């Protein structure tokens, strides 16, 4: 079964969007806004007049406060929306907005799925915002992280001879090789040619990786988005190289592994911190099986000449397989 | 301060007679503007800053600094600078305005109330493009350079809020005798004010309406050797030229207070004001309301005014002194005499903190409003009859409780609904800490909101930092739909608290605990798009208003409370920036500005007030007696100039900036 998780517009979501410097583990925004959106939908469904038998089940399970997930999710065929979701189209004419989308390919997911995943992600975002094009799509490949203190941080990875992504012992993912990235990039180039995406971008690329990547692209990235806590320490060579190649260096605050499997399992699970979509240890009426995050997409629509973020949110898709 | 049309100004008794006339025409003009512009939509964010300078003149031989009264000459020099005009700059009336496309437009200079003041604004408004934000500081520096270039070599445009020894003998150049017919001040000459007829009339009519001189008393700072009780030694009790000379014999002076008696002591202060254009009237009203509670916080954070008339004061900001310097209330309005001729008691000066909220926002609870707000009910009815909603009509009916102070005879002949002169007469002499500005008739400008409480900072770096911070806060407010509402009377209390010496580190302010609205839940509806399902759940329980806010330090408000408390204005701005595509270089520059504000709030860096106070108290000529003598003043102004030039990079005044690159 396919699970589509959504945050809705997190700009109106309150505390979940505000990260404090003290716990700036940067996937907080996604996970806490998912939790917040689930909780809001749960409570709104439990306040609504109950006409489902599931509530009896939850009572029997000794969990009087939690409504059945069936009350606030929506299943269509083999797809479950968590929560049930309908698009919130933008209110002003399209040209008023700058729409940026960031697509996170996740570790340990075969790269050959990306072509379909990419189209699926873009489709979801376009439908959500009620539009047919986006201004900038940034892709985040798994396993790359930008280390501002080490100018050559991305050179050592090239030693890895394996093609596809591989897990190291400590659970970190090694970056994939340039060829795999380029294969994924071709899909994006296709969307660019169809005028669905105006500009493309990459994330966390250092000089080395950029110089290997650029010659193989048909549509060059116009943006390299880097995560730097103190952006005043961006290595000079990268600044110069980006300037020379006409690539804009943008800042962000996401982490590469934006939705680890364990985190997702916890959010959806039957435990104290979960919402009971998945069953746990014989408890609850939740779904059974192994959950595997596939990809995450973040979208942001900014009213250009006012600098106001009107809509921002995430979709995450996971596969649920019978164990 | 824009100069309105010239003509024959009415002296007070005559102006008083036509006050109702001016008000009712002002209301008609307001209605015309409102009808015309209430449907304006999708205006871009444009914003502007205003920086004000004191022009000081050094007398190196005598180791003395005075205020230069050459405003008119300096403006004339600016107005005839061909290069400046060619670049679209100059002074407000002489702007050439033939600039093409992306060319940089030179700044524009304006006269101000004090003849020793100069105001400078960017040549065209800023947008929200991050490049614009980075242009602010260089532009401010450019303005100062241009100003300096049109001055004498011994003159300098300094951004101190007040001149330390304004009102002491020999504090201006040229020098004039005090006790002139307009101000009747025993401390400053009439020539201290801009000679444009509007200004002396304003000062004279405020005095006449009051029935005595304004009374600007500020508590003196008690140091080791300050005599106590302290009696302002500079007051002359033996003047007998004007009836108002009796004021000091009739209790105008208070023990332990520095005594001042003229509009120039207030309106001669420099501040940093920011004006924003909203996308429509509703957004403007929301910004007005949401920025209101931030006013006192930013006043405390920008504190820069610890000296008056040559004495250390026990307060750190200018606000109340300006308030008193233009307080035109009569004894009846002040509650000193029973109401007989006047219409009501007025709790506040026309220069004061905001008294009401104006947004049609469901989050605005009745309890936030002041039930004792004074309004002109007839004028409010006229606005309601004209179609205006209750909140906005209340706001303007409150502003219109005042009398117009400067009325030109020529303007009373015919009501011109295509103009705003009568409306502006009242609007622009209500100096509240926020101002809601309708579009000027005949322009394509939008609805605007002015943020007025901040004190000018010594360096352009700081002035840019605070300007940009406020701009980013407005973007965060609109993006996250933040809610800072607290009862408006608490905002007024906070304004008083902001005056306390070193309020940033020692005081707490009422502030809303949770700025977020409850998360709306969107559910699929028949149409296939999201619709709020608020109806399907019981209305959110609303607790007592008192539970919504608490006392917080400036540090908590700016940098956030621990745990699940108030998130902090800087984290909110950072979070907003994280949602935007910001390039590395810009983010780095913005980080410098936010870092300054963060550290001013947490006490790592000093406010200008604290630094100036420390400078005086550690000066070798200081006798620990609260007196700021000529030598100290000279060294202080020189030091401020050095800070302006080097911004702490030479290690001087690092207390305000830390180690700067």
Cβ distance of B576 and A234 shorter than 8 Å:
no
Cβ distance of B481 and A11 shorter than 8 Å:
yes
Chain B contacts of A82, Cβ < 8 Å? none
Q: Which of B394, B372, B369, B368 is nearest to B381 (CA)?
A: B394
- What CA–CA distance (Å, rounded) separates B544 from B547? 6
Cβ distance of A18 and B128 shorter than 8 Å:
no
Cβ distance of B580 and A309 shorter than 8 Å:
yes
Is A60 a residue whose pLDDT tops 50?
Answer: no
Q: Is B565 on the interface with A (CB under 8 A)?
A: no
What pLDDT is stored for residue A159 in this prediction?
41
B157 phi and psi, to 5 degrees?
-85, 105
Q: Which of B163, B150, B153, B145 is nearest to B460 (CA)?
A: B145
Token code pair at residue A186 = 């071709």
What pLDDT is stored for residue A280 in this prediction?
74
- What CA–CA distance (Å, rounded) separates B132 from A293? 41
Chain B contacts of A310, Cβ < 8 Å? 479
What pLDDT is stored for residue A40 in this prediction?
87
Q: Is B479 on the interface with A (CB under 8 A)?
A: yes
Is A166 a residue whose pLDDT tops 50?
Answer: no
Is A16 a residue whose pLDDT tops 70?
Answer: no
Between residues 66 and 105 of chain A, which touch chain B (CB distance below 8 Å)? Answer: 74, 84-89, 92, 96, 98, 100
Token code pair at residue A206 = 């250092």
Chain A contacts of B481, Cβ < 8 Å? 11-12
DSSP code string of A167-204: E-TTSPEEPPPHHHHHHHHHHHHHHHHTTSEEEEEEES
Chain A contacts of B279, Cβ < 8 Å? 306
Is B534 a residue whose pLDDT tops 80?
Answer: no
Is B316 a residue whose pLDDT tops 50?
Answer: yes
| A59 or A322, greater pLDDT | A322
Token code pair at residue B378 = 């007839």
Compute the C-alpha angle B406/B411/B414, nearest 5°. Answer: 145
Compute the C-alpha angle B116/B119/B122, nearest 5°. Answer: 160
Task: Give residue-wise pLDDT tens across range B129-188.
Answer: 888 999 999 999 999 999 999 999 999 999 999 999 999 999 999 999 999 999 999 999
Which segment of A212-221, B35-44, B50-59, B537-546 scores lowest on mean pLDDT? B537-546
Cβ distance of B583 and A250 shorter than 8 Å:
yes
User: Using 50, 70 and 90 to split pLDDT, how confident is the model at A253?
Assistant: confident
- What CA–CA distance (Å, rounded) separates B349 from A52? 63
| Alpha-carbon distance B529 to nearest alpha carbon in chain A (angstroms) | 5
CB-nearest to B529 from A18, A89, A232 is: A89
Q: Which of A248, A251, A302 to mutate to test the interface with B (most CBs of B within 10 A)?
A: A251
Q: Which of A206, A308, A310, A311 to mutate to test the interface with B (most CBs of B within 10 A)?
A: A308
Contact in structure between B224 and B312 (CB atoms under 8 Å): no
Q: What is the DSSP letter of B297?
A: H
CB-nearest to B479 from A8, A248, A308 is: A308
- What CA–CA distance (Å, rounded) separates B36 from B360? 19
Is A147 a residue whose pLDDT tops 90?
Answer: no
CB pairs under 8 A between A and B: 136
Which residues are within 8 A (CB) of A76 and not within 5 positions of it... i.e. 6 or more apart? none
Q: Which of B538, B566, B581, B590 to mutate to test the interface with A (most CBs of A within 10 A)?
A: B581
Mean pLDDT of the residues in chain A: 83
Query: Where do the structural domains in chain B lie, given as residue ranges?
Result: 7-43+127-156+262-519+543-661
Is A169 a residue whose pLDDT tops 50?
Answer: no
What pLDDT is stored for residue B537 in this prediction?
43
Cβ distance of B580 and A302 shorter than 8 Å:
yes
Task: Give residue-wise pLDDT tens across range B23-76.
Answer: 999 999 999 999 999 999 988 999 999 999 999 999 999 999 999 999 999 999
User: Using 50, 70 and 90 to split pLDDT, how confident is the model at A47?
Assistant: low
What pLDDT is stored for residue A176 in this prediction?
86
Q: Percent of chain B having pLDDT more than 90?
A: 86
Q: Which of A171, A114, A170, A101 is nearest to A141 (CA)?
A: A114
Strand intervals (E) in B187-325: 216-219, 257-260, 272-277, 307-308, 311-312
A240 phi and psi, to 5 degrees?
-65, -45
Chain B contacts of A17, Cβ < 8 Å? 480, 575
| B533 or A32, greater pLDDT | A32
What pLDDT is stored for residue B91 in this prediction?
81
User: Using 50, 70 and 90 to split pLDDT, how confident is the model at A283?
Assistant: low
Q: Which of A255, A238, A107, A256 is nearest to A176 (CA)?
A: A107
Span A298-302, average pLDDT: 97
> Which H/E stretch holds residue B464?
helix B460-480
The count of residues in chain A is 323
> Which H/E stretch holds residue B207?
helix B198-210
Token code pair at residue B453 = 């409480």
- What CA–CA distance (Å, rounded) separates B484 from A315? 30
Cβ distance of B521 and A44 shorter than 8 Å:
yes
What pLDDT is stored for residue A233 in this prediction?
78
Is A258 a residue whose pLDDT tops 50?
Answer: yes
What pLDDT is stored for residue A61 in this prediction?
46
Contact in structure between B245 and B272 (CB atoms under 8 Å): no
Is B450 a residue whose pLDDT tops 90?
Answer: yes
What pLDDT is stored for residue A173 in this prediction?
74
User: Using 50, 70 and 90 to split pLDDT, how confident is the model at A170?
Assistant: very low
Residue A65's Cβ-count burial label (10 Å; 0-12, 13-18, 19+) is exposed
What pLDDT is stored for residue B525 in this prediction?
59
Is A151 a residue whose pLDDT tops 70?
Answer: no
Task: Give residue-wise pLDDT tens across range B386-403.
Answer: 999 999 999 999 999 999
What pLDDT is stored for residue A50 in this prediction?
46
Task: Give residue-wise pLDDT tens across range B578-615.
Answer: 999 999 999 999 999 999 999 999 999 999 999 999 99
ipTM: 0.91
Token code pair at residue B581 = 């595509």
Is B502 a residue whose pLDDT tops 80?
Answer: yes
Q: Is B409 on the interface with A (CB under 8 A)?
A: no
Ramachandran class of A30: left when φ > 0, alpha when ψ lies in -120 to 50, beta otherwise: alpha
User: Using 50, 70 and 90 to split pLDDT, how confident is the model at B231?
Assistant: very high
Cis amide leading into B462 (omega within 30) = no
Task: Give residue-wise pLDDT tens across range A82-101.
Answer: 999 999 999 999 999 999 99
- What CA–CA distance (Å, rounded) separates B396 from B404? 14
- What CA–CA distance (Å, rounded) separates B587 from B572? 15
- What CA–CA distance (Å, rounded) separates B55 from B166? 12
CB-nearest to A13 from B42, B44, B519 is: B519
Mean pLDDT of the residues in chain B: 93
Is B100 a residue whose pLDDT tops 70?
Answer: no
Q: How far apart are the first and last CA of chain A?
A: 12
Dihedral angle over CA of B183, B187, B191, B197, nearest 10: -20
Span B552-572, average pLDDT: 94
What pLDDT is stored for residue B87 in this prediction?
85
B390 phi and psi, to 5 degrees?
-60, -45
């Amino acid at each position: 079964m396919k699970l589509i998780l959504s945050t809705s517009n997190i700009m109106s979501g309150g505390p979940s969007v505000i990260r404090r410097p003290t716990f700036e583990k940067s996937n907080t925004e996604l996970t806490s806004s998912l939790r917040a959106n689930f909780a809001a939908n749960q409570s709104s469904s439990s306040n609504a007049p109950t006409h489902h038998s599931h509530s009896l089940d939850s009572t029997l399970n000794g969990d009087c406060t939690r409504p059945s997930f069936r009350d606030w999710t929506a299943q269509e065929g083999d797809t479950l929306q968590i929560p049930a979701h309908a698009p919130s189209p933008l209110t002003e004419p399209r040209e008023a907005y700058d729409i940026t989308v960031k697509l996170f390919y996740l570790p340990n997911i075969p790269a050959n799925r990306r072509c379909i995943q990419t189209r699926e992600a873009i489709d979801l975002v376009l439908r959500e915002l009620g539009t047919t094009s986006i201004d900038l799509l940034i892709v985040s490949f798994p396993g790359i992280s930008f280390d501002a203190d080490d100018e050559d941080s991305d050179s050592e990875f090239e030693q890895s001879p394996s093609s596809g992504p591989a897990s190291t012992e400590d659970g970190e993912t090694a970056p994939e090789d340039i060829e795999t990235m380029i294969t994924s990039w071709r899909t994006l180039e296709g969307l660019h040619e169809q005028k669905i995406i105006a500009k493309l971008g990459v994330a966390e690329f250092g000089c080395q990786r950029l110089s290997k990547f650029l010659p193989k692209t048909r549509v060059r990235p116009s943006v390299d988005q880097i995560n730097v806590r103190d952006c005043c320490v961006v290595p000079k060579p990268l600044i110069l190289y980006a300037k020379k190649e006409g690539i804009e260096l943008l800042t962000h605050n996401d982490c590469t592994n934006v939705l680890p499997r364990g985190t997702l399992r916890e959010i959806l699970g039957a435990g104290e911190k979960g919402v009971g979509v998945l069953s746990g240890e014989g408890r609850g009426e939740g779904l059974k099986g192994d959950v595997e995050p596939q990809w995450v997409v973040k979208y942001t629509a900014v009213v250009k000449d006012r600098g106001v973020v009107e809509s921002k949110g995430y979709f995450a898709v996971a596969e649920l397989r019978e164990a | 301060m824009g100069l309105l049309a010239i003509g024959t100004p009415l002296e007070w008794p005559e102006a008083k007679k036509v006050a109702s006339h001016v008000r009712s025409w002002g209301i008609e003009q307001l209605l015309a503007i409102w009808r015309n512009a209430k449907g304006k939509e999708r205006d871009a964010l444009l914003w502007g800053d205003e920086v004000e300078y004191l022009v000081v003149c050094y007398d190196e031989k005598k180791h003395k600094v005075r205020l230069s009264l050459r405003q008119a000459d300096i403006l004339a020099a600016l107005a005839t600078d061909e290069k400046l005009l060619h670049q679209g700059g100059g002074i407000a009336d002489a702007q050439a305005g033939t600039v093409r496309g992306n060319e940089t437009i030179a700044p524009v200079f304006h006269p101000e109330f004090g003849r020793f003041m100069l105001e400078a604004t960017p040549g065209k408004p800023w947008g929200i493009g991050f490049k614009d934000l980075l242009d602010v500081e260089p532009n401010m520096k450019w303005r100062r350079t241009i100003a300096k270039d049109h001055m004498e070599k011994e003159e300098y445009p300094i951004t101190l809020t007040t001149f330390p020894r304004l009102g002491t003998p020999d504090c201006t150049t040229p020098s004039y005798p005090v006790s002139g017919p307009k101000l009747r001040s025993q401390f400053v000459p009439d020539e201290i004010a801009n000679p444009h007829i509007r200004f002396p009339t304003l000062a004279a009519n405020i005095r006449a309406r009051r029935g005595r001189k304004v009374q600007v008393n500020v508590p003196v700072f008690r140091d080791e050797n300050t005599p106590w009780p302290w009696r302002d030694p500079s007051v002359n009790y033996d003047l007998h030229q004007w009836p108002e000379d009796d004021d000091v014999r009739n209790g105008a002076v208070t023990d332990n207070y520095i005594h001042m008696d003229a509009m120039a002591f207030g309106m001669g202060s420099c501040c940093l004001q920011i004006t924003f254009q909203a996308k429509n009237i509703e957004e403007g009203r929301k910004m007005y309301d949401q920025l209101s509670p931030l006013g006192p916080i930013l006043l405390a954070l920008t504190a820069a005014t610890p000296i008056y008339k040559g004495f250390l004061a026990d307060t750190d900001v200018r606000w109340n002194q300006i308030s008193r310097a233009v307080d035109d209330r009569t004894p009846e309005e002040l509650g000193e005499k029973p109401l007989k001729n006047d219409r009501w008691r007025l709790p506040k000066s026309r220069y004061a903190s905001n008294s009401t909220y104006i947004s049609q926002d469901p989050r605005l609870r009745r309890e936030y409003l002041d039930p004792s707000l004074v309004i002109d009910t007839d004028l409010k009815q006229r606005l309601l009859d004209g179609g205006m909603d209750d909140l906005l009509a209340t706001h303007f009916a409150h502003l219109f409780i005042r009398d117009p102070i400067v009325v030109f005879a020529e303007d009373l002949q015919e009501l011109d609904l295509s103009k705003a002169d009568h409306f502006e007469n009242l609007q622009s002499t209500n100096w509240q800490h926020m101002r809601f500005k309708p579009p000027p008739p005949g322009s394509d400008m939008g609805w605007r909101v002015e943020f007025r409480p901040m004190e000018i900072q010594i360096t352009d770096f700081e002035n840019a930092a605070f300007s940009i911070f406020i701009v980013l806060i407005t973007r965060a407010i609109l993006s996250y739909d933040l809610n800072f509402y607290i009862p408006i009377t608490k905002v007024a209390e906070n304004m008083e608290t902001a005056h306390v010496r070193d309020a940033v580190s020692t005081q707490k302010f009422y502030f809303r605990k949770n700025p977020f609205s409850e998360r709306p839940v969107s559910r699929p509806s028949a149409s296939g798009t999201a619709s709020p399902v608020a109806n399907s759940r019981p209305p959110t329980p609303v607790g007592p208003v008192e539970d919504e806010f608490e006392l917080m330090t400036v540090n908590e408000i700016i940098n956030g409370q621990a745990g699940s408390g108030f998130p902090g204005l800087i984290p909110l701005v950072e979070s907003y920036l994280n949602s935007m595509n910001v390039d590395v270089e810009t983010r780095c520059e913005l980080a410098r500005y936010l870092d300054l504000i963060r550290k001013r709030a947490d006490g790592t860096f000093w406010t200008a007030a604290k630094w100036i106070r420390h400078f005086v108290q550690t000066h070798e000529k200081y006798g620990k007696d609260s007196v700021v003598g000529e030598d100290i003043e000279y060294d202080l102004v020189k030091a401020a100039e050095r800070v302006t030039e080097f911004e702490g990079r030479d290690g001087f005044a690092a207390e305000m900036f830390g180690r700067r690159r």
